[in-house]
Chain A
Amino acid sequence: MAVVSFQRSSQLFTDYVLGASGTVVPPASWTMGLSSVAVSAMVRNSIWSVTVSGTNINELGSTTASGYARQTIAKSIAQAGIDWGTSTFDNTLSTGGQSSTADQVTFGAFSGAPSPNGANSWVLTDGTVLNAGNPYFAGDTAATRTFANGDTEKVTATVKAG
């Protein structure tokens, strides 16, 4: 499955981690969204947008929610709530790095078909306004999910920073 790390992730490293920036800062918490766009159509500077065009990321349920909303992941590691797991290290030169897996988040239950429908990717982002905020990284869903009344979706995000 394809993954992409967006510009804001690298900027957080250069400006916040290396440079202790007071303006380029991580959010109070992370949020997780679903997109109809596959990762193969995204690029490093993709943005959330209501306009389905080019490399934009378009969010599920942004016209008709039908139970869709962004889910929250705490900005902490190995605490009691939904947050990131203890990170581990892979020393492989080409593909290695430090990785962490977040606790699983649940979407729904949906009340019917959201519009747009058909999730092809999940996106780690910030804020709760649909089609807005900074995307940090994204991964493909295992299949296209078409939601209907009573459906839920579960996403477990893993990131490896190499």
Chain B
Amino acid sequence: MKTDMFINMAYYILYIFYSLKYNIIFFCNNHQVDLSKMESVEGFRKEQ
């Protein structure tokens, strides 16, 4: 029970961390890379 609680907590910590790090709202469908943006170096700068 305690282990599950710990994992749940850790999950949400990680979720918040990645949301901030990559500036992603994880549960939106924002995963498609627009290839036209990759036609300049700027498109390659982002990690997301």
Partners in one complex: no
Seen from chain A, the residues whose Cβ lies within 8 Å of a Cβ on chain B are none
Seen from chain B, the residues whose Cβ lies within 8 Å of a Cβ on chain A are none
